[in-house]
C-alpha cells in the first residue's frame, strides 16, 4: 500500500487515502467526472469519441502503464487492465485505476509466479499456462484495450468467422485483406491510415509469445509517432 501511495503520474488515479479496519479494507481515490472508459466508449449518449480523442486516450493509458513498469520507485505489474479500470476526467484525460491486484517488484525482480488474476478476455495467455508473469502480461491487456478504443466496440462482441478461430487471426486477415471496415460499425470519423497503424500496434501487443511483444516504452514512442509501428506477424503461419 505504501508503494502504491507513492505513485504520482498524470495518468494514474490519485490515491487519497485508505482504511484498514479488521477485515474491511477501503481505498479512497480522486473523483473522476466522466466515469469509466467502458461507459465512455460503449455507452456514450453523446456519440462516439472523435478519432483524436481515441488516440489521445490510448496514449494516456500507455503512459500510465509505462510509469508503473519503468518510472516509479517500485516496479508494478497492474494485472487487471481493462476499460472498467480506466477512468476519465472532465477533460477526457484517461487515468489508470484499481491497483487491487497489482504485483510489486524490487529492483532485482522482473517476473513472478502467481495464481490466476485479471479479467477474462483481457488476460495474457501465460496466465492460463501457469507461466511466470512479467510486465509483458500488461502489454497484452493494453493491446486488447487499444483495439477496443479504436473500434469503440468490445472485442467480445465481434463476430469472428469460424474459419479464423481467434481474434488475432481475424484481425490479421482484415488487415491484410484491406477489410478493416469489418472492425467498426457505421463509423465515418475514422482516419483510415491511422486506424490501420493502430490495428497493427494492437496486434503486435497481443502476440502469444510474451518476448515478442513490445515494451510499453516502445508502445508510447509508436503512439507518439517517434518509432515506426512494425507489421504484425502472420498469425496464421505462427499457429501451424
Bin 231: left if φ > 0, else alpha if -120 < ψ < 50, else beta.
beta
The CA distance from 130 to 115, in Å, is 8
Cell 487491487 -> residue: 100
Burial of 164 (0-12, 13-18, 19+ CB in 10 A): middle
The CA distance from 174 to 230, in Å, is 17
**Who's near 24: CB < 8 A, 6+ residues apart?**
none
The CA distance from 19 to 130, in Å, is 33
C-alpha cell at 159: 463476430
Give the active site residues.
Answer: 80
CA 76 vs CA 27, 71, 108, 187: distances in Å: 18, 10, 13, 36
Amino acid at each position: 500500500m505504501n508503494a502504491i501511495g507513492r505513485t504520482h503520474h498524470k495518468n494514474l488515479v490519485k490515491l487519497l487515502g485508505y482504511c484498514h479496519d479488521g477485515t474491511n479494507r477501503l481505498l479512497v481515490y480522486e473523483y473522476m467526472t466522466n466515469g469509466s472508459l467502458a461507459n465512455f466508449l460503449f455507452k456514450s449518449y453523446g456519440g462516439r469519441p472523435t478519432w483524436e480523442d481515441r488516440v489521445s486516450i490510448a496514449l494516456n493509458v500507455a503512459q500510465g502503464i509505462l510509469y508503473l513498469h519503468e518510472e516509479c520507485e517500485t516496479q508494478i505489474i497492474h494485472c487487471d487492465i481493462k476499460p472498467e479500470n480506466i477512468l476519465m476526467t472532465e477533460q477526457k484525460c484517461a487515468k489508470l485505476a484499481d491497483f487491487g491486484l497489482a504485483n510489486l517488484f524490487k529492483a532485482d525482480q522482473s517476473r513472478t509466479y502467481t495464481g490466476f488474476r485479471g479479467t477474462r478476455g483481457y488476460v495474457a495467455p501465460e496466465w492460463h499456462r501457469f507461466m511466470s508473469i512479467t510486465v509483458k502480461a500488461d502489454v497484452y491487456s493494453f493491446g486488447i484495450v487499444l483495439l477496443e478504443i479504436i473500434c469503440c466496440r468490445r472485442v467480445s462482441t465481434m463476430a469472428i468467422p469460424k474459419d479464423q478461430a481467434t481474434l488475432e487471426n481475424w484481425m490479421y486477415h482484415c488487415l491484410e485483406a484491406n477489410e478493416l471496415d469489418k472492425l467498426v460499425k457505421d463509423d465515418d470519423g475514422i482516419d483510415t491510415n491511422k486506424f490501420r497503424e493502430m490495428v497493427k500496434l494492437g496486434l503486435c501487443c497481443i502476440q502469444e509469445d510474451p518476448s515478442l511483444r513490445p515494451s510499453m516504452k516502445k508502445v508510447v514512442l509508436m503512439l507518439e509517432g517517434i518509432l515506426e509501428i512494425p507489421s504484425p506477424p502472420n498469425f496464421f503461419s505462427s499457429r501451424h
